Amino acid sequence: MVKEIVNQGVAINKTAFSYRFKRDMKKNYSLYILIIPVLAFYALFMYKPMYGVLMAFQDFEIRVGITGSDWVWFDNFKRFFADPYFKRNIINTVKISVTSIVFGFPTPIIFALLVNEISKKWFMRTVQTITYLPHFISLVVICGMIRTFVGSDGIITSIVNFFSANPVDESLLNNAKAFVPIFVASDIWQSFGWNSIIYLAALSAVDEQLYEAAIIDGAGRIRQTISVTIPSILPTITIMFILRLGSILSVGYEKIILLTNAFNAESSEILSYYIYKKGLISADYGLATAAGLFNSIINFAFVAAANSISKKVSDIALW
Amino acid sequence: MKGKKFFMLAIAVSMVFAIASCGKSGDNEATEVVKATLSSTYPIETDQTIRWWQSSPVKENDKFAEFLEEATGIKVEWEFPADSGNASTAFNLMIASDNLPDVIQSGWANSHGGPDYNLDKKIITDLTPYMDAGIMPNLKAYIDEHPELKKMMTSSTGRYYYFPQILGDERLASFRTWFVREDLLEKANLEKPETLDEWEQVLYAFKDMGIETPLMAKFTGWQFKDDSPFLACFDTPGDFYHDGNTVKYGFYEDGFGEWVKLMAKWYSDGILDKDFLNETNEHWSAEIINGKNGAFFGSIGGNLGTYTDAINPQTGIRYTPCKVPSSKKGEKAMWSSKDFMVKAVGCAVSYTSKNKELAVRLLDYGYSKQGQILWNFGKEGVSYEMKKNEEGREIPTYTDVIMDPAKRNGLTQGEAMGLYTRAGMPISVQSIDYLFQNYKYQAQKDAIEVACGSRKDEYALPLGICNAEQEKKLADIITPVDTYREETISKIIAGKLPIETLEEYYKQLKALGVDEAISIYQEAYNKYLEKNNL
Amino acid sequence: MKRKSFSRLLFEIFNAIFMSVLMLITLYPLLYVIFASMSDANELLKHGGKLLYKPLEFTLAAYKLAFKDNSIVTGYKNTSIILVIGVPISMYLSAVGAYFLSRKDVMFKKIITKLIMFTMFFSGGLIPFYLTVRDLKMIDSLWSLILPTAINTYNMIILRTAFEGLPPGLEESARMDGAGHMTVLFKIIIPLSKATLAVIALYYGVGVWNSWFNASIFLQRGNAKWPLQLVLRQILIQNDTASMTAGTDLGDMERVAESIKYAVIVIATMPVLCIYPFIQKYFTKGVMIGAVKG
């Protein structure tokens, strides 16, 4: 190129912004055009409304909106942290969330691996179709069933009593220690089938040739799983895990409402439920937004941490 | 850190959007010089339409809407949220989006911040000038006949702000009462219990007769407050109340501790429902219908009606309503679950309405003689006819389109009533005659007579006296108090904690700031007394 | 062919037994719901929520009541419209976005990724969202149920992971043959990601199917545009209130409030159950057509 000959004597600064920019445009011009609708979506529906976050710092009144409400800065947060039950709410939320991750995250993966081993296709399809059904039954009905099963003459209560040193004749839900297991176990029961779908998809995309190579090397099925299957779906697993951490403080209250009572409250009162209760007494948008913002910040911190660790250890990360 | 930069950037960007698109209508400062311009008789000649928002749906073929338009001459466009379960969300969004209809039907008396807040923030219109200019003659006439209602429907600053649902008779104030097994009473040769002692006698007798759960109860949330069984017999209701001019908190009083002791005793003796915390509707219904229970507190329509429908008559299980239990024979109970004569729900005219006078005239119609009949009974010859009732009085009597299943086109009675009338929630004076015709079982009609028998009016605090600031402070104190109370008291009653814990309970309530909550309420109540010269 | 080893056989038998048990415990809720929906309401009340092995006094009254007015049919219609228009839009935008986010050597990729991920955690809340939709004049239009929720970042990230998992050599060799971004995306990346695309389509589809809240706040005039779940929710609520005014004469309409809860779930769920077999088609073991050089 003429330019290059003229500039031969001078070192070209390949890291200069304008150089990189021009090169990027030439190479990826069509890509940027392609993505305009996506960017428009985020700008319009995600960023435009984001000023709502400011409500957390206001004594927000609906009628006058953000521009008309008083600024209380960190007052809402102070009130939020000062609540006598704040610590308990956080602990309960974290307990449920961590238990749910520890037991609930691997289950769909293991299930998917086992399903993948089924040799008869019709059986595999039947298993898949049936096990994802509970996901679609409404929470109200599921909780009704849970309360029956762990009720004073429920089938699960009877089983537990059989193995326990102190049989009880009341609902297991009256026992604060039993709450988290009941909550998490029923969650897993309802969702493991549905959650396994993404892993089954990932499993189906594993290159057959890798298996063939492993078999030639003399690997048995277990060896194949360890050295071919799992590494192949590891990116999916990692990303799913990091994303899962992103809801560590976000245990929803709908199910809590249906299962909580005064006896198990010391384990079942979580942050979102408490804020909901307060909201029933006084419509306090500022406080609710502050609580939500706190939630988001903690979730974000966890994900950011997990993301950095993942980046260092492997190549896989959210950003 | 990069994170912070993004956060700031994001906020800044969206603030720009927000301010640019912020077209909130500033002030509608039409100075309120109010003079009557429309005719004072109905139907009014006009081609304007009134937009009316309420939380329950209005069907396309609604007959009542037709009748109302015919009678007043005013066409109404009905608006309602798509999901009546989320009505408050829809309501808030409506306020936030600055698109207020002319008439808004909602619980204005105890809405967020109280009536004065809604008036001052220019959400609803001050109706006092309209009252003074003679544009609301029907409501004015009714208030003149019943002056004690005036302070119930004006704000703390004495302003009129809504057209309320008024109860035409005290017996309309309560839909829930006590029911006891009549067949068991007969077997045991006992009278219907009226005092706490009599109730105890009856319940223990039932236990001896082999009844599994003599007393069914649900002790969560609001049930703890309003409907705690027999709490009023200890001279303290749940929640805040006033004794003379002093505000008190029922759960803080000594009487409450006594009640807890009694409940704990009943629990361990097997009188009280073992599942009082876990009660589901299904379990409750099953126990009652299968006769495993001796008494319960429930609603006249939804509970008693449902169960009577479901109970097999051959089992001989019969329930009969009881008076509100009191501590002394012959004396009315101190408190019961009961509404005020002026209900919290009513219609307000929005501040931004362009048809205020027309809306006021539309709403005022309901309080006239004809208006009352329209709201409660519909149209003569169609949904009601004047007939003599058992006492010889001539009252509007519902016709077959409402009462006869064969002529109702597959609707239930409730649906038919909702089609031709608004008897359940009239912007008018609700008629007791509607209620007696509404229930089909004699036990239900008996229940109407006794359900409201208490002196709650002497003790109940008026609605909406706290401003937004006070509400927030109260919520901050009371939410943890409620949480603590429910957990601790339930455990004491069920025997999981010893009775001695009650001492700690009172100390803990103090530590959580109950005294401050009481003084906040006292402040609000004093202001109310002052403004109403009481 | 290879004979199965004994341990493999043992494993397969235990696996089969294990799967059967799993199927039993996950099938039960649906069976309960079906039986309850066909049971007499009073019998259900008496039964008090215990285990069900069959309908109690078989009756279809709950279904008759639910279908009483046309609203369920309208609901199905509206939800179908949203699916047919909305899911392709969501798929297109998600695929394009995921493609962008999975490319190497794109200068602004990092910052755009961060901006997008940020929205997964922070949002302005309901009121500003509502006002935005209002300002775009989408209130009372079915578009308010399609556009504001067109992209689910979570789904897009999953798709990006799948795209990233494809061998980079593919894009390079295509580029060398002169292909532009559009060609690479539509002719190479997408055909090789069928399994994940099917899953994401399922996620979006089920998301649309189950949604009712946005409809409840954006559709304000009448119920002509209500999607299915909103219609069903209203039926439930109305029957709840009807049961509160019960003890009044109900005539030929047997009191079905208890069983209608379940009938509604069956009506809402049946179509979804039939969809999965179609999705499973795409979970075939992918074989790479040998376009990769080394």
Give me the domain span that covers residue A146. Answer: 89-313
- Nearest-Cα residue of chain C relative to residue B86: C216
Q: Inspect the interface and report whether the beta carbons of A281 and B475 lie closer than 8 Å.
A: yes
Q: Inspect the interface and report whether the beta carbons of B475 and A284 lie closer than 8 Å.
A: yes
HSE-up (13 A, CA, CB side) for residue C171: 19
Residue B353, min C-alpha distance to chain A (Å): 15
Task: Determine, yes or no, domain membership for C165.
Answer: yes
**C residues 137-196 lying closer than 8 A (beta carbon) to A:** 147-151, 154, 157-158, 161-162, 164-165, 180-182, 185, 193, 195-196
Task: Determine, yes or no, domain membership for A76.
Answer: no
Cβ proximity of C35 and C16 under 8 Å: no
Give the domain CATH number at C206.
1.10.3720.10
Q: Inspect the interface and report whether the beta carbons of A235 and C161 lie closer than 8 Å.
A: yes
Pick from C32, C158, C164: CB nearest A145 = C32
| Length of chain A counted residue by residue | 319
- pLDDT tens figures, A267-303: 999 988 888 888 777 778 888 889 989 989 999 999 9
Pick from B24, B277, B283: CB nearest A261 = B277
Strand order in the sheet with B176-181: B213-215, B293-299, B176-181, B319-322
| ipTM for the assembly | 0.85
Average pLDDT for residues A156-170, to the nearest whole number?
Answer: 83
Beta bridge partner(s), residue B218: none
Least confident of B83-97, B168-182, B351-365, C6-20: B83-97
Task: Determine, yes or no, domain membership for C11.
Answer: no
- Nearest-Cα residue of chain C relative to residue B89: C217
Residue B162, min C-alpha distance to chain C (Å): 24
Residue B243, min C-alpha distance to chain A (Å): 24
- Nearest-Cα residue of chain C relative to residue A232: C165
Better-predicted residue by pLDDT, A43 or C271: A43
Q: Which of B14, B212, B260 to mutate to test the interface with A (most CBs of A within 10 A)?
A: B14
Task: Determine, yes or no, domain membership for A176.
Answer: yes
Task: Determine, yes or no, domain membership for C280.
Answer: no
- The rounded distance, in Å, linking the Cα atoms of C177 and B456 is 88
For chain C, say whether A207 makes contact (Cβ under 8 Å).
yes
- What is the 8-class DSSP label of residue B302? I
Only one residue has tokens 């057209």, namely: B163
Residue B273, min C-alpha distance to chain A (Å): 12
Q: Which of B7, B24, B93, B407 to mutate to test the interface with C (most CBs of C within 10 A)?
A: B93
- Nearest-Cα residue of chain A relative to residue B509: A84
- pLDDT tens figures, A45-86: 999 999 989 999 998 888 888 888 889 889 999 999 999 999
Residue C118, min C-alpha distance to chain B (Å): 8
Residue B227, min C-alpha distance to chain A (Å): 17
- pLDDT tens figures, A173-216: 888 899 999 999 999 999 999 999 889 888 887 878 888 888 88
Q: Inspect the interface and report whether the beta carbons of A123 and C19 lie closer than 8 Å.
A: yes
B175-337+458-467+489-497, what's its fold?
Answer: D-Maltodextrin-Binding Protein; domain 2 (3.40.190)
Average pLDDT for residues B21-47, to the nearest whole number?
Answer: 66
Would you say residue B4 has pLDDT above 60?
Answer: no
Q: Inspect the interface and report whether the beta carbons of B476 and A265 lie closer than 8 Å.
A: no
Task: Determine, yes or no, domain membership for A286.
Answer: yes
Pick from C217, C223, C255: CB nearest B89 = C217
For chain A, the chains sharing at least 3 beta-carbon pairs closer than 8 angstroms are B, C
pLDDT of res. B176: 84
pLDDT of res. A99: 94
Q: Inspect the interface and report whether the beta carbons of A134 and C202 lie closer than 8 Å.
A: no
Using alpha carbons, select from B285, B277, A161 the residue that is nearest to residue C49.
B285
Domain count across chain A? 1
C-alpha to C-alpha distances, C54 to A5, A156, B78, B178, C32, nearest whole angstrom? 88, 21, 44, 36, 8
- pLDDT tens figures, A4-35: 555 555 566 667 788 888 888 888 888 899 99
C-alpha to C-alpha distances, B529 to A308, B158, B523, B524, nearest whole angstrom? 63, 11, 10, 9
**A residues 210-229 lying closer than 8 A (beta carbon) to C:** 221
pLDDT of res. A282: 73
Give the residues of chain C that fall short of pLDDT 70: 1-4, 45, 48-49, 239-258, 283-294
Least confident of A121-125, B96-100, B393-397, C79-83: B96-100
Cβ proximity of C98 and C196 under 8 Å: no
Better-predicted residue by pLDDT, C89 or B230: C89
Residue type, B399: T
Q: Rg of chain A's alpha carbons, rounded to an integer?
A: 27
Exposed / middle / buried, residue C27 (Cβ in 10 Å: 0-12, 13-18, 19+): middle
Task: Determine, yes or no, domain membership for C95.
Answer: yes
Pick from B13, B277, B479: CB nearest A47 = B13
pLDDT of res. C241: 59
Pick from C19, C122, C265: CB nearest A137 = C265
Give the domain CATH number at A187.
1.10.3720.10
Q: Inspect the interface and report whether the beta carbons of B474 and A281 lie closer than 8 Å.
A: yes
- pLDDT tens figures, A98-121: 999 999 999 999 999 999 888 888
Residue A189, min C-alpha distance to chain C (Å): 7
Q: Do domains B32-171+342-374 and B175-337+458-467+489-497 have the same CATH topology?
A: yes
Pick from A53, A141, A240: CB nearest C124 = A53
For chain C, say whether A141 makes contact (Cβ under 8 Å).
yes
Give me the domain span that covers residue C201. Answer: 69-244
- The rounded distance, in Å, linking the Cα atoms of B413 and B404 is 8
Residue ranges per structural domain of chain B: 32-171+342-374, 175-337+458-467+489-497
Which residues from B are below 8 Å from A54, CB to CB? Answer: 11, 15
Pick from A62, A147, A282: CB nearest B471 = A282
Which residues from B are below 8 Å from C248, CB to CB? Answer: 301, 305, 412-414, 438-440
**C residues 50-79 lying closer than 8 A (beta carbon) to A:** 50-51
Residue A81, min C-alpha distance to chain C (Å): 20
Pick from C49, C68, C134: CB nearest B97 = C134
- The rounded distance, in Å, linking the Cα atoms of B401 and B414 is 11
Q: Inspect the interface and report whether the beta carbons of B11 and A51 lie closer than 8 Å.
A: yes
Better-predicted residue by pLDDT, B276 or C120: C120
- Nearest-Cα residue of chain C relative to residue A286: C125
pLDDT of res. A10: 58
pLDDT of res. C155: 94
- The rounded distance, in Å, linking the Cα atoms of B145 and B362 is 21
Which residues from A are below 8 Å from B110, CB to CB? Answer: none
Pick from B14, B81, B412: CB nearest C251 = B412
What distance lies between CA B377 and its chain's CA centroid? 22
Which CATH superfamily hosts domain B32-171+342-374?
A: Periplasmic binding protein-like II (3.40.190.10)
Task: Determine, yes or no, domain membership for A291.
Answer: yes
pLDDT of res. B452: 85
Residue A278, min C-alpha distance to chain B (Å): 6
Domain count across chain C? 1
Which residues from A are below 8 Å from B482, CB to CB? Answer: 277
Q: Inspect the interface and report whether the beta carbons of B480 and A171 lie closer than 8 Å.
A: no
For chain C, the chains sharing at least 3 beta-carbon pairs closer than 8 angstroms are A, B
Least confident of B12-26, B268-282, B340-354, B494-508: B12-26
Using alpha carbons, select from B183, B175, B207, B179 the residue that is nearest to residue B193.
B179
